[in-house]
Structure 1
Amino acid sequence: MLADGAMLLLGFGLASYVYLGNPFDERLWPAAQLLLPLFWTIALLNRTYSVPALVAGNFGLQRAMAALGLAVLALIVLLFLTRSSLSLSRAGSLLGLGASSLLIVWARVNLQPYVRRLVGPRAENLLLIDDGGPPIDAANALRINAQLAGIVPSVEDPHALDRIAQVIRNMDRVVVSCPPERRQVWALVLKGGQMRGEIVDNEVDTLGIIGTSRADGISSLVVSAGPLGLRARATKRIFDLALTVPALLVLGIPMLVIAALIHFQDGGPALFLQRRVGRNNQFFWIYKFRSMRVAASDSLGKQSTRRDDDRITPLGAFLRKTSIDELPQLLNVLKGEMSLVGPRPHALASQAGNRLFYEIDSRYAHRHALKPGLTGLAQIRGLRGATEQEDDLTQRLQADLEYQAGWSILRDLGIIFKTLRVLVHDRAY
């Protein structure tokens, strides 16, 4: 914190000396004096000085830069509202802000190795107490065997409580592994300490528990909260419509021409409809331009398309190669059944190797927490085409779950731009 403040003042001092000839010129130095307390206040509020900032240099650096930017905006508003008579140099202020930013980055990069040596990779005191429960381990943690250390949890024995207090003193976090019958007494003991107390329960992993809830008289384990909140879902929907409606207006006539060519080719329907799994594991009908002979169309998706597949028509081969066959799915997006970006929807009978998708990995249904998309993280990584081996499915599943865990509207935009580079793909058949 002191280093950040020193670098901010030094940056403005250097700018004032270079631009105005005096490191404490009244046309620039007051801006630094006003900016410093604003910066420190915002930095304290946005966790620039926190445990995560100690162990992750990039985290602290990003928060510091955000705090500096907000402090500048706050200073501008403050000067405007107070109708300040200060005559500040605009060019000098910009130069000082740039110099301060660079110096803060330089100082933090050079301080980080010292900080890591001082606080360690964890930056907290973690104590693991083994009292006969499931085995536990954690890097850079202290370990105690309760039996060997003579630790007996008992809220009725002041001497036993004192012994435990001596052991957990100065700990930030205490994790106890014990049999189920001793969990309640350990919980009572830990509640009397000034630290975070935890008790190991393997069901946390088995059920995928993400928290607990006490509401409406119901105490429960939270196992699902949905990857996106209401605001995020609304933002994603507005984004989809903002791109889909203009795209349909521009591509409407070309799509009608393609539909006519498909129909005139063999007299069959232009669109191919197939039931697929969408959000919340609900079925929906996906639209595609028909690329196979009518008699060979696979409505259940039992057989993945192969290279040089004899079921595909000559026009269909071109449509699939260029991904044009997917354009009708813009209608699915318009209807709200799909999104522009998300996990690709699979047919019910899709297989990898000789097993159905949902038989391969128990996490498969998790990918349906979001609307399926025209494109996704897996697609821009080249994970498309036939799923000949089970690993083909697990790689795509991992990418889909990664997308869910780190969604942002900017990431959606980036995936769309990257999709343009892989529309024509050697695995698009």
Structure 2
Amino acid sequence: MNAVLPRHTLEDATRVDSPVIDPRDRRGPFRPEKLVSARERRSGDMFVSLFRSIDFLALVAFAVVCARSVAPHGFFTAPFGNILPFMATTLVLYWAFYAAGLYRFGRNGRVWKHLVKLACVFAGGYVMADFIADFSINDYAVTAAVRFWIGATVVYFMLQHLLWWSLVDRWRRQGKLIPSIVIVGATKYAEKLIEAAIAERHVNILGIFDDRLSRNPEAVAGVPVLGDVQSLLGHKITPYVDQIVVALDTSAKARVKTIIEKLRSLPNEVSLFVDMENSQSAKAAWSRVADMPLARVSGISEDDRKAMLKRAEDLIIGTLALIIFSPLMLVTALLIKLDSPGPIFFRQCRHGFNNETIRVWKFRSMYTHMSDATAAQQVTKGDPRVTRIGRFIRKTSLDELPQLFNVIKGEMSLVGPRPHAIGMKTGPSESARLVAEYAWRHRMKPGVTGWAAIKGSRGPLDSAEDVRRRIALDVEYIERHDIWFDLYIMAMTVPCLLGDAKAVR
């Protein structure tokens, strides 16, 4: 812990105007070696769902292969009693995996207990399959096939679940499965919560924010007070925060309401920690966070299944699109190089999920010495900064194709709110300051295309009304999104872009 600190540690996330303090003191008692973004932690959670899917496919594959020995002429011509033990036991085993908690991978769990539970599940499956085989057909060949199937399957799953366990343990050590929170309120409730969290070590508390800085200490139970609530709204730490917990006396209704209204502009989930007075111990106080009985105030809880389907959609369609469009991308890259001096690609820092800063790839469409990395000046018709090839690729949105690399990397999605440059201006004002709900669009990964894009809201935002319209469309997409809606938006993207002659790009 005394070694040279890596990038993205907690001291990097403190306020720019913070006084110079020993970095180790500013990191507090939780001391994460590396801050892991909320996006990366969610991707780790989705892998548990992937484990279940792989287990199901493996169960079916083993059953089909072993059942072939008692159905040499095909499953449809074989006696039903030959196939029934494999079909019924496969379904029961898959249900039993879930019922036995074999996908929980708890932090306090032990791998040997996990394997014992797995063995017990298969023992029950063996008894069931053997009974069905004897009862339904009483054929020695079927019974032998069933016993071999169970034996081979249990060995395979023991090894596979050892792999699952080692992967989860590795992700946990990397911080990908440990949720990070910040607390609003330097109160006695926050102190109890921190003490309990330190004892359990199931969560990282990255800092505290409180409006009453003049009367508060620099730290509560070792966790640093990083600023007031207003500073939290634009703080560099927010992309690493899974949840903001308001730990105030709920009897101070006016103060609680004011703070919650301020926090609603953030993409992070906000929860109210209530009834702390009734907690009998620090462990009880901690369990309220660990078990999530929190009164949700704002934020959208992403459904694991939908998230997994969306990621699979991005990987499959994104990879296919990259292969299909690679010749076009090569030609575009060559034309850019021949048209004007400078690099082929333009990389720009933009906001991603949960306000995370990501570097978005595009084909360069402006002269290198006129490039605008912060989008301080919106593109206008006949803009002299845009090259000849740039006008064409911007009009046809070919300049966006390199963002497929961001999609495959997991920083973007094929469909979602379009990523805006950090500090983008609408007229003289920063776009993010024109609409209170602006950050809501960061509650989902940004997309290569989106609902707003096909509804005509693409390109520059020339007025506050333009910003409001785009935010409304982005929030509508976030509330409605599913795989079919995504496929519809992708199908409509090309005709909408080609028919949008008025858009300035």
TM-score by length of 1: 0.50
Aligned residue in 2 for 1:283: 357
Asked if 1:366 corresponds to 2:419, the answer is: no
Work out which of the residue numbers 363, 376, 381 in structure 1 matches 2:450: 376
Work out which of the residue numbers 467, 475, 480 in structure 2 matches 1:401: 475
**Partner Cα separation in structure 2 for residue 264 and residue 210 of structure 1:** 51
- Cα shift at 1:357: 1.5
Letter in 1 for 2:372: D
**Partner Cα separation in structure 2 for residue 313 and residue 202 of structure 1:** 49
**Partner Cα separation in structure 2 for residue 254 and residue 382 of structure 1:** 25
Aligned residue in 1 for 2:386: 312
Asked if 1:216 corresponds to 2:287, the answer is: yes
Aligned residue in 1 for 2:13: none
**Partner Cα separation in structure 2 for residue 383 and residue 400 of structure 1:** 10
Work out which of the residue numbers 318, 322, 326 in structure 2 matches 1:252: 326
Aligned residue in 1 for 2:179: none
Aligned residue in 1 for 2:463: 389
Query: Matched residue of 2:471: which SS?
Result: helix
- Is the CA contact (8 Å cut-off) linking 1:343 and 1:372 kept in structure 2? yes
Deviations 1:233-279 (A, max 9, x none): 11101011111111111111221121111112223111111110100
Asked if 1:262 corresponds to 2:336, the answer is: yes
- Is the CA contact (8 Å cut-off) linking 1:340 and 1:374 kept in structure 2? yes
Unaligned runs of at least 5 residues, structure 2: 1-249, 275-285
**Partner Cα separation in structure 2 for residue 358 and residue 216 of structure 1:** 37
Summarize the Cα distance change of 1:211–1:278 in structure 2 as closer, same or farther, 3 Å threshold: closer
| Larger mean Cα displacement after TM superposition, 277-286 or 228-237 | 228-237
**Partner Cα separation in structure 2 for residue 290 and residue 262 of structure 1:** 7
**Partner Cα separation in structure 1 for residue 370 and residue 320 of structure 2:** 34
- Cα shift at 1:353: 2.7
Query: Matched residue of 1:423: which SS?
Result: helix
- Is the CA contact (8 Å cut-off) linking 1:323 and 1:428 kept in structure 2? no
Work out which of the residue numbers 333, 337, 355 in structure 1 matches 2:407: 333
Percentage identity across paired residues of the two chains:
38
- Cα shift at 1:423: 2.3
Paired residues for 1:18-417 under 5 Å: 216-217=287-288, 220-417=294-491
Greater RCO, 1 or 2 (C-alpha within 8 Å, sep 6+): 2
Summarize the Cα distance change of 1:374–1:388 in structure 2 as closer, same or farther, 3 Å threshold: same
**Partner Cα separation in structure 2 for residue 392 and residue 311 of structure 1:** 23
- Is the CA contact (8 Å cut-off) linking 2:300 and 2:443 kept in structure 1? yes
- Cα shift at 1:224: 3.9
- Is the CA contact (8 Å cut-off) linking 1:207 and 1:223 kept in structure 2? no
Aligned residues: 234
Summarize the Cα distance change of 1:232–1:213 in structure 2 as closer, same or farther, 3 Å threshold: farther
Cα-Cα RMSD: 2.7
Deviations 1:28-85 (A, max 9, x none): xxxxxxxxxxxxxxxxxxxxxxxxxxxxxxxxxxxxxxxxxxxxxxxxxxxxxxxxxx
**Partner Cα separation in structure 2 for residue 329 and residue 358 of structure 1:** 23
Letter in 2 for 1:395: R
Deviations 1:343-382 (A, max 9, x none): 0000112122321122112211111010000111111110
- Cα shift at 1:385: 2.0
Letter in 2 for 1:319: I
- Is the CA contact (8 Å cut-off) linking 2:340 and 2:387 kept in structure 1? no
- Is the CA contact (8 Å cut-off) linking 1:259 and 1:270 kept in structure 2? yes
Summarize the Cα distance change of 1:207–1:265 in structure 2 as closer, same or farther, 3 Å threshold: closer
**Partner Cα separation in structure 2 for residue 229 and residue 291 of structure 1:** 38
**Partner Cα separation in structure 1 for residue 489 and residue 375 of structure 2:** 26
Highest CA radius of gyration, 1 or 2?
1
**Partner Cα separation in structure 2 for residue 302 and residue 225 of structure 1:** 30
Unaligned runs of at least 5 residues, structure 1: 1-179, 184-200
- Is the CA contact (8 Å cut-off) linking 1:236 and 1:409 kept in structure 2? yes
Summarize the Cα distance change of 1:387–1:206 in structure 2 as closer, same or farther, 3 Å threshold: closer
Deviations 1:97-131 (A, max 9, x none): xxxxxxxxxxxxxxxxxxxxxxxxxxxxxxxxxxx
- Is the CA contact (8 Å cut-off) linking 1:341 and 1:373 kept in structure 2? yes
Summarize the Cα distance change of 1:285–1:204 in structure 2 as closer, same or farther, 3 Å threshold: closer
**Partner Cα separation in structure 1 for residue 258 and residue 389 of structure 2:** 55
Deviations 1:307-341 (A, max 9, x none): 11111111110111111111111111111110010
**Partner Cα separation in structure 2 for residue 217 and residue 287 of structure 1:** 42
- Is the CA contact (8 Å cut-off) linking 1:380 and 1:422 kept in structure 2? yes
**Partner Cα separation in structure 2 for residue 266 and residue 227 of structure 1:** 47
Query: Matched residue of 1:398: which SS?
Result: helix
Query: Matched residue of 2:349: which SS?
Result: strand
- Cα shift at 1:225: 4.7
- Is the CA contact (8 Å cut-off) linking 1:322 and 1:428 kept in structure 2? no
Query: Matched residue of 2:459: which SS?
Result: coil
**Partner Cα separation in structure 2 for residue 242 and residue 293 of structure 1:** 34
- Is the CA contact (8 Å cut-off) linking 1:227 and 1:405 kept in structure 2? no
- Is the CA contact (8 Å cut-off) linking 2:454 and 2:497 kept in structure 1? no
